[in-house]
Amino acid sequence: RFDLEGFGIIEIIYGNNEEVNAISITPDNGREMEFDVVKEHVVDDDKLTNYLCRTWKVDKIRDVYYKDKEVVFDKEYIEKEDVMIDEVFFSKSGTYMLVYHDGTIGVSSWKWKNKEDKTISYSWDNNWSDKHVIDISFEGNTLVVREVFDAEGEGAEHFDINEMFTYLSEK
């Protein structure tokens, strides 16, 4: 039970096996609201998952654009102003969180698409799509995330494919 000054009371409600069943919120000037809790499936415990699931610091991003299979743009972004993201966090409960320079966060879900191929599916809204797939690899203590985008929207006439590599080091 947490009594937060200026907010109200948050209470965690436990069930039979000491698992959290619900959360109760009672604002200072309001009535009690209770929310059921459903625990997410935990990703299997193995060497690859254990190495992935941690906090990573973004070192650099490399963008490569292709037109008719030829490279038309290739640039590495190392400066903080260009990279936009400070940290990336993967959890075993399928959470994928980005921490941006301005202190905001983005939270989505992830799951193994094919563990042997080191491919991960992600979803920002629990609608899983083959467009939201990343490949991962490890170079020593560096996690390399590769994502491929088809050309869409403004400027799409200048390229067919955008391949983005994000290089992350252990925090």
What DSSP string describes 61-94? EEEEEEETTEEEEEEEE-SHHHH-EEEEEE-TTS
Identify the band that residue 147 occupies on the pLDDT scale cut at 50, 70 and 90: very high
Question: Phi and psi dihedrals of 18, rounded to 5?
Answer: 60, 25
pLDDT at 13: 92
Decide if pLDDT at 156 tops 80.
no
Q: Which residue has the higher pLDDT, 171 or 116?
A: 116
Q: What is the mean pLDDT of the chain?
A: 91
Give the integer Cα–Cα distance in Å for 107 and 95: 7
Decide if pLDDT at 11 tops 90.
yes
- Each residue's pLDDT tens digit, 16-41: 877 888 999 999 988 999 999 877 77
Decide if pLDDT at 52 tops 80.
yes
Question: Phi and psi dihedrals of 49, rounded to 5?
Answer: -65, -45
pTM of the model: 0.76
